[in-house]
Amino acid sequence: MFAVAATLHPAHAQETQPELKSAPSFVDNFANFNQSRWFVSDGWTNGAHQNCTWSKDLVRLSDGVLSLSFEKRKLKDREFACAEIQTKQRYGYGVYEARMKTGAGSGLNAAFFSYIGPQDKQPWDEIDFEVLTKDPSKVQVNSYIQGKPKNAKLVEVAGGADKGFNDYGFVWEKDRLRWYVNGKLVHEVTNPDELPTHSQKIFFSLWGSDKLTNWMGAFVDPGSKVTMQVKRVAFTALGQPCQFPESLACSISNSN
């Protein structure tokens, strides 16, 4: 165990999509922890809504699986500790994918998402998959434009997000944003006012709240460590070939 601080039209996309700065395509199967790619959040919270402090000790890698955990442990001014990683580089239009499994528990949020905001001197744009683990039979998809939520929708995860590994992916284009669960299209947005326009970092996080009860449920101390696991994450830029056989970029690039 290693502890660590529907159609893409590739050619058309290359011709008509405006420049949106992006780091190169990649696949990370977590054979090791790429410290040049990932930054581990440690020693702070994202605000008063969060009842835990980010801890690098709760990010671990073992046998090709990245684990992010939540546990009862006083850290700074919070009674719980939690985990988050984020890419150091920013990514633009393309296919974003993760294969992951969550824990369960009311008041927790297990998320795979892209985000940019004031911390990087940019407007707040975001694209989300969030498993509100009070009910891991569903995942919430959403996006934020200029800090305002635009497309929240709860969709079913067959078998449950906590019962096995599932594939989550979104395809972000200039004029369209689509979310997929296990290869199935579950949500699509084409309204230009509801589409992000700024390159973003990729995040995984597991955190809790005793304040956002209407959304995440009443917080219940899980009594033991809760973990989300990630086997793979990938970004494939528009117009680039798919990078692994199960990728959305393979299955939808030639569809109608």
For the cut 60, the answer to whether the pLDDT of residue 3 exceeds it is no
User: Is 79 one of the catalytic residues?
Assistant: no
Q: Which of 71, 84, 97, 126 is catalytic?
A: 126
Percent of the chain surpassing pLDDT 90: 89
The verdict on residue 11 lying in a domain is no
Q: Quick one: CA torsion of 133, 137, 143, 144, rounded to 10 degrees?
A: -30
- CA gap 158, 166 in Å, rounded: 9
Catalytic residue among 71, 84, 97, 130: 130
Query: Residue 18 has what pLDDT?
Result: 55
pLDDT band at 13 (very low <50, low <70, confident <90, very high): very low
Give how many domains the chain has, as a whole number. 1
- How much is the pLDDT for 15? 38
H or E segment and range at residue 132: strand 125-132
**CATH number, domain containing residue 225:** 2.60.120.200
Q: Is residue 31 part of a domain?
A: no
Alpha carbon of 190 to those of 12, 171, 178, 194: distances in Å? 17, 12, 9, 7
Each residue's pLDDT tens digit, 97-137: 999 999 999 999 999 999 999 999 999 999 999 999 999 99
On whether residue 4 sits in a domain, the answer given is: no
- Residue 253's pLDDT is 55
130 is catalytic: yes
